[in-house]
């Protein structure tokens, strides 16, 4: 079993420049977790590149061997350091965890 963790965020800022800066910082902080959290098998993270007026601002797709690996990621201290920043700049979060 592989668990694919997919998350999207819409930033809270009203002006496009601040939204873009916050989304880019979310992406940078999440990318920094690769190689730090052992349970991450694959990770793609980035900002919306096509329809910023209609889509979420940033997204994460991460693969884990199993639910235990996802839980390790969620509770890992390095991830927990990123969470407060994301919560401070995001207005909305959507997630789904798939068995692929």
The answer, as to whether pTM is greater than 0.75, is yes
Going by the DSSP 8-state scheme, the letter that residue 54 receives in this structure is T
Going by the DSSP 8-state scheme, the letter that residue 50 receives in this structure is S
The count of structural domains within the chain is 1
- Reported as a single tens digit per residue, the pLDDT across 36-67 is 999 999 999 999 999 988 999 999 999 999 99
The whole-number pLDDT of residue 1 equals 85
State the CATH number of the domain containing residue 30. 3.30.70.100
Beta bridge partners of 94: 8
Judge whether residue 21 has pLDDT over 90.
yes
Give residue 85's domain range: 3-99
Backbone φ and ψ of 67, nearest 5°: -65, -35
Contact between residue 1 and residue 39 where contact means Cβ atoms under 8 Å apart: no
Contact between residue 84 and residue 25 where contact means Cβ atoms under 8 Å apart: no
């Amino acid at each position: 079993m592989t668990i694919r963790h997919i998350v999207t965020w819409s930033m809270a800022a009203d002006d496009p420049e601040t939204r873009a800066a916050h989304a880019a910082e979310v992406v940078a902080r999440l990318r920094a977790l690769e190689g730090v959290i052992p349970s991450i098998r694959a990770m793609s993270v980035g900002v919306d590149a096509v329809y910023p007026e209609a889509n979420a601002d940033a997204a994460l797709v991460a693969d884990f061997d199993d639910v235990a690996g996802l839980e390790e990621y969620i509770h890992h201290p390095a991830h927990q350091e990123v969470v407060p920043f994301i919560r401070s700049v995001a207005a909305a979060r959507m997630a789904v965890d798939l068995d692929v």
